Chains A and B, each alone.
Chain A
């Protein structure tokens, strides 16, 4: 019985090739746009995470700090919620690092008699305490501690970037819903056209004793197939573009050791399944209008 329904659905698709092709292409365009957004967020999220991993708070100390003061301060910082570990960087070490970083501008250090750099603590946050607000509050508490001259953390643009991605994410949810409705509408319309072009046939089927399900099931299968084909086509185009772009892109704009990744199998499967669901839903809507009249 199932194979019969499948056979009828596939026959129908071939008999209405043009209409089906148009639907599949339209679905694939919608999927292409929607999944491009998803791809962007997956990678943006990964970039942010890799930046966050390197995120640290620098606490510059007053030059008058004593040995005991240093120990007390260390404990005070470690007891702050969200702080994972800290490393003491004496000013000699800081200067050495700076010189190493700026070895091409070595002349700048030539006339340096005194070390102008302060001693400092480099503080790492725990993974859970990775929200921007959290970092800000930890930094503020550290700054209020005695012997701490100044703190420095992250960069403003990072906060702005994180903020913009949140906005983007919200916008993309809205767009996701819009695309979802658009695909439902498109599929509903095609199936409507298909049914309309075959209302005589549907009527004849009813006259010879076909149940509603017998008539409807092939249409549902058609909707599912259209959804699947549209999703596969859209994702295929996205994947090809992805491969093309990444192989031609300068790795330099991205943080070290970070590689752009394509959507995971789980997300790809999710997109295909949602697209099929949408095909089914489109079918449901137009069949409801037509057959229950």
Chain B
């Protein structure tokens, strides 16, 4: 089934994965291996397939061909009922945030823990502390549409990290933000990385990669062109 070797430290593996949207080949023959606690960038021009690749990780889309292994689970064989549990391994920061407009900031973040069946008291504690972390504790009762883009982004980050997921996926997390907001978000992602999570960021923004360093998977027209490594340098002044 899967070749052995390095399996212990792998959290995401793909073997010859293809994804077609009808006649459109969005991803072509992708093979990759992401280790636990890596800080990975998926880079490439717009339309290269970055968002699509993230979708395959959390079974947002089934592959057309090939194998995806997440934390030892073969997604080709995952029963429908197990999908929610697969998704709880991930904290996802969507490009369009995907906050629920009719729920308050607090409810949006709490939803993750409620869905995971956590105890109300723990939920309250966790949600408050994570909202403090993203500096949104005073907007608990606000509704997302009343927040700025940067604030919504921070709520999205809070929701992604509140369940202490093994893997954080972030799709263009700094795309529509000013530099300060972008730095804040990046800072938060580094924080969860230090605490042990695997962080995967899809971005077309090269300066972001240079600022942070990490593994870089470069996609172009649906193909994985190069896989390079930039030394992790958390000290921005070096660049």
Give the interface of A toward B (CB within 8 A). 1, 4, 15, 198, 200-201, 204-212, 214
The reply to whether B120 and A211 form a contact with Cβ atoms under 8 Å apart is no
Q: Which residues of A lie under 8 Å from residue B92 when comparing CB positions? A: 207-208
The residue in chain A whose Cβ has the minimal distance to the Cβ of B110 is A4
Q: Which residues of A lie under 8 Å from residue B112 when comparing CB positions? A: 208-209
Assuming the contacts A1-B117, A4-B120, A214-B115, asked whether A207 and B60 have C-beta atoms less than 8 A apart, the reply is yes
Q: Roughly how many angstroms separate A200 CA and B99 CA in the complex, as a whole number?
A: 10
The reply to whether B114 and A209 form a contact with Cβ atoms under 8 Å apart is no
The reply to whether B84 and A206 form a contact with Cβ atoms under 8 Å apart is yes
Q: Which residues of B lie under 8 Å from residue A212 when comparing CB positions? A: 84
Counting chain B residues whose Cβ lies within 8 A of the other chain, the interface size class is 20 to 34
The reply to whether A205 and B98 form a contact with Cβ atoms under 8 Å apart is no
Question: How far does the Cβ of B114 sit from chain A's closest Cβ, in whole Å?
Answer: 6
Q: Which residues of B lie under 8 Å from residue A206 when comparing CB positions? A: 83-84, 87
The residue in chain B whose Cβ has the minimal distance to the Cβ of A3 is B120
Question: How far does the Cβ of B174 sit from chain A's closest Cβ, in whole Å?
Answer: 21
What are 30 residue pairs bridging A and B, where the CB atoms are less than 8 Å apart in the complex? A1-B117, A4-B120, A198-B102, A200-B100, A201-B100, A201-B102, A201-B103, A204-B98, A204-B100, A205-B111, A205-B115, A206-B83, A206-B87, A207-B60, A207-B92, A207-B94, A207-B98, A208-B87, A208-B92, A208-B111, A208-B112, A209-B85, A209-B87, A209-B116, A210-B84, A210-B115, A211-B115, A212-B84, A214-B84, A214-B114
Q: Which residues of A lie under 8 Å from residue B116 when comparing CB positions? A: 209
Interface residues of B in 45-66 (CB under 8 A from A): 58, 60
Q: Roughly how many angstroms separate A15 CA and B58 CA in the complex, as a whole number?
A: 31
Q: Which residues of A lie under 8 Å from residue B117 when comparing CB positions? A: 1
Interface string of B13-53 (1 = CB under 8 A from A): 00000000000000000000000000000000000000000
Q: Which residues of B lie under 8 Å from residue A198 when comparing CB positions? A: 102
Give the interface of B toward A (CB within 8 A). 58, 60, 81, 83-85, 87-88, 90, 92, 94, 98-100, 102-103, 111-112, 114-117, 120, 159, 163
The reply to whether A4 and B114 form a contact with Cβ atoms under 8 Å apart is yes
Which residue, of B81, B84, B85, B103, has the highest number of chain A Cβ atoms within 10 A?
Answer: B84
The residue in chain A whose Cβ has the minimal distance to the Cβ of B89 is A209
Q: Which residues of A lie under 8 Å from residue B84 when comparing CB positions? A: 206, 209-212, 214
Q: Which residues of B lie under 8 Å from residue A204 when comparing CB positions? A: 98-100
- What are the 5 tightest A-B residue pairs by CB atom distance, in nearest-first order? A210-B115, A209-B88, A209-B87, A211-B84, A208-B112
Assuming the contacts A207-B60, A209-B87, asked whether A15 and B111 have C-beta atoms less than 8 A apart, the reply is no
The reply to whether A208 and B115 form a contact with Cβ atoms under 8 Å apart is yes
Question: How far does the Cβ of A126 sit from chain B's closest Cβ, in whole Å?
Answer: 62
Q: Roughly how many angstroms separate A200 CA and B81 CA in the complex, as a whole number?
A: 20
Question: How far does the Cβ of B73 sit from chain A's closest Cβ, in whole Å?
Answer: 14
Q: Which residues of A lie under 8 Å from residue B159 when comparing CB positions? A: 208
The residue in chain A whose Cβ has the minimal distance to the Cβ of B120 is A4
Q: Which residues of B lie under 8 Å from residue A210 when comparing CB positions? A: 84, 111, 115
Q: Roughly how many angstroms separate A209 CA and B118 CA in the complex, as a whole number?
A: 13
Question: How far does the Cβ of A35 sit from chain B's closest Cβ, in whole Å?
Answer: 36
The residue in chain A whose Cβ has the minimal distance to the Cβ of B102 is A15
The residue in chain A whose Cβ has the minimal distance to the Cβ of B109 is A208
Q: Which residues of B lie under 8 Å from residue A201 when comparing CB positions? A: 100, 102-103
Question: How far does the Cβ of B18 sit from chain A's closest Cβ, in whole Å?
Answer: 23
Which residue, of B58, B92, B102, has the highest number of chain A Cβ atoms within 10 A?
Answer: B102
Q: Roughly how many angstroms separate A208 CA and B99 CA in the complex, as a whole number?
A: 11
Q: Roughly how many angstroms separate A246 CA and B72 CA in the complex, as a whole number?
A: 74
Question: How far does the Cβ of A217 sit from chain B's closest Cβ, in whole Å?
Answer: 12
The reply to whether B58 and A207 form a contact with Cβ atoms under 8 Å apart is yes
Q: Which residues of B lie under 8 Å from residue A200 when comparing CB positions? A: 100
Q: Which residues of B lie under 8 Å from residue A15 when comparing CB positions? A: 102
- Interface contacts beyond A4-B114, A204-B98, A214-B84: sample of 4 additional A-B pairs, CB < 8 Å, sorted by A: A201-B100, A207-B94, A208-B92, A209-B84
Q: Roughly how many angstroms separate A212 CA and B82 CA in the complex, as a whole number?
A: 11
The reply to whether B87 and A207 form a contact with Cβ atoms under 8 Å apart is yes
The residue in chain B whose Cβ has the minimal distance to the Cβ of A1 is B117
Q: Roughly how many angstroms separate A81 CA and B155 CA in the complex, as a whole number?
A: 85
Question: How far does the Cβ of A55 sit from chain B's closest Cβ, in whole Å?
Answer: 64
Q: Roughly how many angstroms separate A201 CA and B143 CA in the complex, as a whole number?
A: 14
Q: Which residues of A lie under 8 Å from residue B103 when comparing CB positions? A: 201
Question: How far does the Cβ of A214 sit from chain B's closest Cβ, in whole Å?
Answer: 5
The residue in chain B whose Cβ has the minimal distance to the Cβ of A201 is B100
Which residue, of A205, A206, A208, A209, has the highest number of chain B Cβ atoms within 10 A?
Answer: A208
Q: Roughly how many angstroms separate A210 CA and B120 CA in the complex, as a whole number?
A: 16
Question: How far does the Cβ of B122 sit from chain A's closest Cβ, in whole Å?
Answer: 13
Q: Roughly how many angstroms separate A1 CA and B123 CA in the complex, as a whole number?
A: 12
